[in-house]
Structure 1
């Protein structure tokens, strides 16, 4: 019990002020002051005061506020100037060139001022705290919004380290994530990932939120922002609204900002070697399926189940996928190729010098001649590369058989086709070209491979076009209905086939 409490206790017990002062060896003025304040406090309601004081507690004394003799107004003005310069650098992408408190202290010492680092630190921290931003907690409606952002991933593809762009969508309500890998962040890739998202979700959120990326925002005029024409067309087609964040305010789409780092780490922190981008994308899809099966930290329901609730709230979509390809008119050169984005793509022969149209997408390039669809190529994102299809040059090879072995077409042909040529048809280019005609007309490469495998079992040099065609034709024939045992019928059929096979003749073989 402190001295003040003892005085008030004796007073409440009926003891006089003179006696209290004498017994406790306190000044009578002090005793009288404590008792007057106590009696006054009982008549006053202190519940609405900013800091209610307990009148029975020990007395408190105001700290002495001495004027700061070293931290003069001149020094304060210089520090305010340094703080303002740091804020300007943050707004102009120079955050790494800001002055730290130690730099401010050294600058003042260089100017001839004598002041401690601690004094500078306390003043600067106090000023910075005054200007800290206040954030508003966001409430998310089911199916109302989705956020989009890009991230960078470095993977080892074909034994080379290469940077890829990670496009990530996040639904704020369910925290459901969708992502795909691309080799670029161009307009075509942005549109392509949107079509994949809508096809995957099977519903369209009301609002799509972006930062101020160039593929979405065409220009700034003051605070007015102009949306790019392709994004306007996409929004009109799928009937959603575009919301743009303020400049340097990534917290306005905080769900996807966090998701980019989270998805990149979960998917590619351990697995980062892939034969191609398609395998990497398939790995990413598998990881996302696992992540979306986790429970939401607030709703205690799986992310995928919450996404289904959003789908019910928004309603399923009935749109066909948006055509995101860029239409380009180009001319077929002497190699029967067209040049698109500095890369060559083969065209079926017979159209040299003609102007044709190409639809350039994020993953494929489709070629049209006189309005008719004639070919598809996987898009190559390199420079000065050649994408050749050997089936586009068969008639030319009939005239120039010697060019076959050193051609770019054969080099880029499927592995099975190259193996067939090098094992069985070197020096027999005419027969090999006929085999390619047969495969192209019937689209039966797998059947041809099976036939070659059967012929190898008979004799290593027994592979020929006639025998391959014969076996493939036998496989296509429908079996006759018979009451005999299936094994017996199959055995008879095989015997008849091999009997005919052995009586076939070719040049140099009886």
Structure 2
């Protein structure tokens, strides 16, 4: 037991002060002091004071605080100036150029001041602690709020390294994540990803939270912010409210800020090279399924299951058609039977050169309309001075200019099956090739045509011709009759060839050799 407590205990038992001092081997003055403090403490109520009862308080001694000789008022003013400069840089996107405490110390030493680093560090820490930000813990109501943000990801697509934009949504309650890759962060892409997200989760959260991105905030004057017309339109359509973060306060949407980095790392840190953007999107989708299938860190339930619970309590379910965020523009059809949209050419079916048509330009598709009818649809090209050509739009022209097909942009962009078909069997036979393209366009039987080509090629290479291909494609299995078994395929092929020989007057000897 400590000496002070022993003294108090002996005093309560009635032992004299002299005897207490002699037995414990302390001076009479110390015994008198402890007993006097004990008597005084019994008359004080310290329940609402930040002190303990003196009876259990160990003896303390006043610490000597000497005058800080190196840390003068002049040096304090200089250090406070450095701290203010750092605060200004943080508010002007220069946080990477802030001075560290070691830099402050070195600058003082270079200026001729004799001061140690520890003194500088202690003073700066004390000053910064006075202005440290206080954070408020959030409660996330189910189905109430979702956060949106953009991120950058660099991918190698078909051998080319390029920056792409990653649009990310995160539900605040369940931490369920949704993401999609775009080639731009334009307004039409923002509207498109909103529509796809709402369609994906099956309900509309009450509040959508954003930072002050240009596609959401049209103008920013003081504390007054004006929302863009497009975002007002989509919020009215789906009936959700928009909440904007304070400037440079990304922590106000901390769920999605963390999600952008997390999804990018999980999806593309180990694998970033793909043959097409579609393959990269498949990689992203599988990653999201894996992430959302994990247990929530707090609820210990899968993120997908929590999202379904949010869907049950959400105030608004999706019972309307997806929002169409495409831009409607009017275009002129040029001599190449194409229209120019955002410096890129898109082909139009021939016969309309010189007309003005309307185009709906979306994030992924460009749709062309003539007198209200949809006449063409192309994938959106986000490059510059590119051509999106459909070979079926120019078949009548190719009938008049057969020699143009070999070196045409249309053939270059045609499906690989069409290109191989021309290069292997139809060079110098453009008339027959165009006739086959007319058939594919009208009947939409490209797969049937390629199967017929394979069957003819297996018989004899030079048997591939438009007449034989069309003959095979038009053969149908009568209703009620089972299709041929795999073992009967060769026999049926042989009988077909004999029919071809009679049809096209082929010599019987050649048929025998071919078979």
- TM-score of the two chains, using structure 2 as the length reference: 0.94
1:182 corresponds to which residue? 182
1:504 corresponds to which residue? 503
1:426 corresponds to which residue? 427
1:292 corresponds to which residue? 292
Q: What is the CA-CA distance between 1:2 and the residue it aligns to?
A: 3.5
1:114 corresponds to which residue? 114
4+ residue runs of structure 1 moved beyond 4 angstroms?
480-483, 485-497, 506-510
Which whole-Å CA distance do the structure 2 matches of 1:341 and 1:95 have between them?
37
Distance 1:501 1:83, change over 3 A: same
Which whole-Å CA distance do the structure 1 matches of 2:490 and 2:2 have between them?
112
Distance 1:208 1:487, change over 3 A: closer
Deviations 1:39-82 (A, max 9, x none): 22233332322132442443111212222222122221121111
Which whole-Å CA distance do the structure 1 matches of 2:182 and 2:57 have between them?
69
SS at match of 2:360: strand
Which whole-Å CA distance do the structure 2 matches of 1:371 and 1:378 have between them?
20
Q: What is the CA-CA distance between 1:30 and the residue it aligns to?
A: 2.3
Which whole-Å CA distance do the structure 2 matches of 1:101 and 1:131 have between them?
17
2:329 corresponds to which residue? 328
Whether 1:350 aligns to 2:351 is: yes
Do the aligned residues in 2 keep the contact of 1:356 with 1:368 (CA within 8 Å)? yes
Which ranges in structure 2 are unaligned for 5 or more consecutive residues?
A: none
Q: What is the CA-CA distance between 1:18 and the residue it aligns to?
A: 2.4
Do the aligned residues in 2 keep the contact of 1:5 with 1:57 (CA within 8 Å)? no
Which whole-Å CA distance do the structure 2 matches of 1:409 and 1:486 have between them?
40
Distance 1:336 1:11, change over 3 A: same
1:254 corresponds to which residue? 254
Which whole-Å CA distance do the structure 2 matches of 1:395 and 1:403 have between them?
12
1:362 corresponds to which residue? 363
Q: What pairs with 1:291-310 in structure 2 (closer than 5 Å)?
A: 291-310=291-310
Which whole-Å CA distance do the structure 2 matches of 1:492 and 1:80 have between them?
95
Q: CA RMSD in A?
A: 2.4
Whether 1:58 aligns to 2:58 is: yes
Q: What is the CA-CA distance between 1:493 and the residue it aligns to?
A: 7.5
Do the aligned residues in 2 keep the contact of 1:150 with 1:260 (CA within 8 Å)? yes
Deviations 1:147-184 (A, max 9, x none): 01111111111112111111110111111110111111
Do the aligned residues in 1 keep the contact of 2:105 with 2:117 (CA within 8 Å)? yes
2:415 corresponds to which residue? 414
2:473 corresponds to which residue? 472
Do the aligned residues in 1 keep the contact of 2:37 with 2:54 (CA within 8 Å)? no
Which whole-Å CA distance do the structure 2 matches of 1:449 and 1:374 have between them?
26
Q: What pairs with 1:33-44 in structure 2 (closer than 5 Å)?
A: 33-44=33-44
Whether 1:217 aligns to 2:217 is: yes
2:130 corresponds to which residue? 130
Which whole-Å CA distance do the structure 1 matches of 2:238 and 2:224 have between them?
24
Which whole-Å CA distance do the structure 2 matches of 1:148 and 1:393 have between them?
44
SS at match of 2:203: coil
- TM-score of the two chains, using structure 1 as the length reference: 0.94
SS at match of 2:219: strand
